[in-house]
Chain A
Amino acid sequence: MSIEPIWKTWFAKHGAKLLLFARQQARNPADAEDLLQEAFVRIWRLYGHTGEVPPALVFRSIRRLAIDWVRRDERRGHREQKVALDAATEASWFDRSLEQRERNALVEKAVRRLPSEQQEVILLKIWGEMTFEDIGNTLDISLNTAASRYRYALEKLRVWVPHVLTDDKLNL
């Protein structure tokens, strides 16, 4: 019988989607990991002893920290911003399976092409598996705004990402 901290199990379940959101919010991959670490540590120190921390709290913390960090960077005069942005465009947000590498890259490119406010709603809804109400609370917007941003984002993605022809359609 071994003893394992609960946060490890919790993080194994939610870490990937939190990192995805942190990447979307941060300016570069290195910032994303720092952002996630600081947000998670803050929340876990407050609520971790209960063993049940809603991921929405960490999402919210990531976003607020990201806003603070952007302000801080602006005060520093956009130092290294260009390098950071270049790096951010190189790191992939998703695992790419061998058989669908090109297709996945295309979908990811389309997601990253979305306006930031639609992008964050899509990430929280699709991969964060949150309700529009929770998304609204996390992003400080109304439920209806979250839902409409989601709808607009999907409409854009539908145009940008061409349909994959299934085997049935190819045979017709």
Chain B
Amino acid sequence: MKDLEKELRALKPSSPSSEFKVGLEEALGEPGKLAVKRTPDIPAEQESILSSGFFRLSLFLGITSTLAVALYLANTASNDDAPVEKPSSFIPATEQDSDSLPVADQDASPLHGISNASIAAFAEQQGWNLPEKREILVGAADEGIVDRPGQAPARRYRYRFLDETIWRNPATNTFIHSAIPREEIVLVGLDPY
């Protein structure tokens, strides 16, 4: 019986056609756009990784200390002869001047005041892989109808996400795990008629 069940499971049901999915999207209309998720753009090359906000806003200042400690440990473990670096020396002082960066760049950087380019260059030098990111939907709530001054009322939905990021360094068998809660509020305008 087990063999038969296994053989049955090996059969893969035919997937719906792409035309069907297009039709489905049209049929869903606006309700299909209520719940959305952010997906990172696929990086074609390093420059696009940096410019696409690969290290994005979801990482905040708390990561700084974790990253610094982990890198410090990894560095000392892999090379005992190397001079011990302090976490603060990882980032050039000039890069810490956030005022010199465009606002958009500051927003996209996970570490406050440190550009994406600096983080990526440093991570690459130290043998860290590109971070694995995923977005976990923790919950959603319909908060009812809200008034908007000068506009039609809207229904408010609140989504709670957990943005998870894992950095891995295969050379030192080290990883850093970050989980950051995030909320998104979606207002769906209502037709008063």
**Chain A contacts to B: CB under 8 angstroms:** 1-9, 11, 15-17, 19-20, 33, 36-37, 40-41, 44-45, 48-52, 92-95, 104, 107-108, 111, 122, 126-127, 154, 157-158, 161, 163-164
Contacts and interface: CB of A to CB of B under 8 A. Distances in A.
Interface in B36-64: 36-41, 52-53, 56
A126 B9 contact: yes
Given A2-B41, A6-B37, A6-B137, A15 B32 contact: no
B142 interface: yes
A25 to B, nearest CB: 14
Interface string B19-46: 0110111011001111111111100000
- Most A-side CB within 10 Å, residue of B3, B9, B31: B31
A164 B134 CA distance: 42
Given A49-B140, A126-B8, A33 B16 contact: yes
A3 B14 CA distance: 27
Interface residues of B, number: 40
Contacts of A93: 13-14
Given A4-B37, A6-B36, A161-B4, A40 B14 contact: no
A11 to B, nearest CB: 7
Contacts of A127: 8-9, 11, 13
A107 B35 contact: no
B93 interface: no
Grouping DSSP codes into helix (H, G, I), strand (E, B) and loop, the A interface class, with mixed when no group exceeds half, is: helix
Nearest to B34: A49
Contacts of B1: 154, 158
Given A16-B16, A20-B13, A5 B23 contact: no
Nearest to A97: B12
B20 A49 contact: no
